[in-house]
Copies of this chain bind each other. A is one copy, B any other.
Amino acid sequence: MLVGMTVIRTARERARAEVRREILDAARRQLTAEGAEALSLRAVARELGMVSSALYRYFASRDELLTALIIEAYDELGERAERAAAATADQPAGLRWVAVARAVRAWAVDHPRRYALLYGTPVVGYAAPQSTVVPGTRVQIALAGIVLTAHRSGAIDAGRLGAGEPPVGSAVAADLARLRAALAQAAPDLLTAAGPSDVLLRATLLGWTQLFGLIGFELFGQLRGLVEDGEAFLVESAATMAARAGLQTGPLPPGR
């Protein structure tokens, strides 16, 4: 008997899919409200009016439930980032970069516990399975796509990019080669023959870590009492990093 792999056939399977969704919904609610380590299978079961052991028919373990929530969150955040990039496709790259950065922060501020699950301390004894890797890179790919698009269309301000910065060392050059290969796989049409320079790739990587570092600092309380308007600070920081990568923020390089 041949059947389509994802086709729901029987009423039983329909019910199963629905219960699975309800479990995920309840788990997401608890994760949002109390944080990952307070996510309890028993509490989820209680909320759904079933007994805890019944949950194990749907998720083999708490870790598997966590994995589902992680992938879901990565995809939600990744989609926000991609939408922000797409919505600004006709704008200068610097503004696009800032738009994506704002979108990422907005999601993080809206869902701090879920963001922490993705970019905070890894849950002990939990090894992120392979299935989380691809969704986990969507934001970075979206940001890199902006840089690559700008580079492809010759919009990178070479005079500004990496001005006064140290040269790229050999160890880092090897890392950047790996990054170039990963980008070639994710967005092959954006890679030109000349390819993005090492300095540009390094600036992109610095932009990532800066963005996530700043969001983490804000969310985890490291900037308490210092930065009042997190949004404004992030916009300026992202714009600064974009400028340092040679991304233009206006139709013409301003102040020239």
CB-CB contacts of A153-169 with B at 8 A, as 1s and 0s? 00000001011111011
Which of A7-15, A18-26, A239-247 lines the interface with chain B?
A239-247
Establish whether residues B169 and A160, one from each chain, have CB atoms under 8 Å apart when the complex forms.
no
Contact, CB under 8 Å: A34 / B171 = no
B227 engages A175 (CB within 8 Å): yes
Provide the bound-state CA to CA distance between A122 and B115, in Å: 12
Q: Are B124 and A240 in contact (CB under 8 A)?
A: no
Q: Which residues of B contact A216 (CB under 8 A)?
A: 119, 212-213, 216
Determine chain A's interface SS by DSSP, over half rule. Answer: helix
CB distance from A44 to the nearest CB of B (A): 16
Please, what's the 1-or-0 string for A112-150, where 1 marks a CB less than 8 Å from any CB in chain B? 000011011111110010000000100000000000000
A157: min CB distance to chain B, Å: 8
A210 within 8 A of B: yes
Q: By the criterion CB–CB under 8 Å, are B228 and A182 in contact? A: no
Say whether A160 contacts B164, CB under 8 Å: yes
A166 is contacted by which of B165, B168, B240 (Cβ under 8 Å)? Answer: B240
